[in-house]
Amino acid sequence: MTVIILIAAPEGLRGHFTRWMVEASAGVFVGNPSRRIRDRLWELLATRIGDGQAILIEPAANEQGWAVRTAGRDRWQPVDFDGLILSARPKNQLNENSHPARYNPSSGSVDPAPAGMLRQPPSPTASTRRGPRARGDAPTQQ
C-alpha cells in the first residue's frame, strides 16, 4: 500500500492523483500502484509541488516495512537512525518549548542539547522533601 500526503499543493495536482489513487481525506491519497507508476507519480509531484509539501510512504524491505520520501519547503526530513526511519524537524519550526532534533546525519552521531535547553529539576528542600520525618522535625506543609 502507498500513501501520499499533500499539504498546500498547487491547483490540479490533487485532481491528477485521483486518477491513480483514492483520496481518503483532503490531501491524503491511498492506493496500490506498481513501483513504476509510483516512481513516475513521485517525479511529477516533486517537480510540481512548489511551495507546498508532499510525503510519500511506500512499502520497503526494511525492519519497519516502509520507507518515506519528502518534497517541498519546510518539510520534516526522514533520517535513518540504526535502521529505524525517524523524522527530523526543520530548524525554522523550533520554538522555546520544543527540543531540536539532536541526531546529526553528517557525522552519524547524536549531538548534545545546547546549554540551557534542558531544564534541571529543582533541588529538594525542607518544604518539598518527601518521606518519613526524622524525630523532632516539624510537619512539612504540602
- pLDDT by residue (tens digit) across 40-91? 999 999 999 988 999 999 999 888 898 889 998 876 777 877 777 788 877 6
CA dist., res. 106 & res. 126, Å (int): 48
What's the N-to-C CA distance of the chain in angstroms? 55
Residue 33 has pLDDT above 90, yes or no: yes
Residues forming a β-bridge with 69? 56
| Cβ(30)–Cβ(66) below 8 Å | no
> What integer best gives the mean pLDDT of the chain?
75
Residue 21 has pLDDT above 70, yes or no: yes
Of 65, 19, 23, the residue nearest 44 (C-alpha): 19
Topology of domain 1-74, per CATH? Alpha-Beta Plaits (3.30.70)
Predicted confidence band of residue 23 (pLDDT cuts 50, 70, 90):
very high
Q: Tens of pLDDT along 90-141? A: 766 554 444 444 555 566 555 554 544 444 445 455 444 555 555 555 555 5
Residue 1 has pLDDT above 70, yes or no: yes
- CATH 3.30.70.240 positions along the chain are 1-74
Q: What is the pTM of this model?
A: 0.60
Nearest 5°: phi and psi at 108? 75, 20
- What is the structure's pLDDT at 87? 80
Lowest mean pLDDT among 19-28, 30-39, 108-117: 108-117
CB hemisphere CA count around 54 (13 angstroms): 22
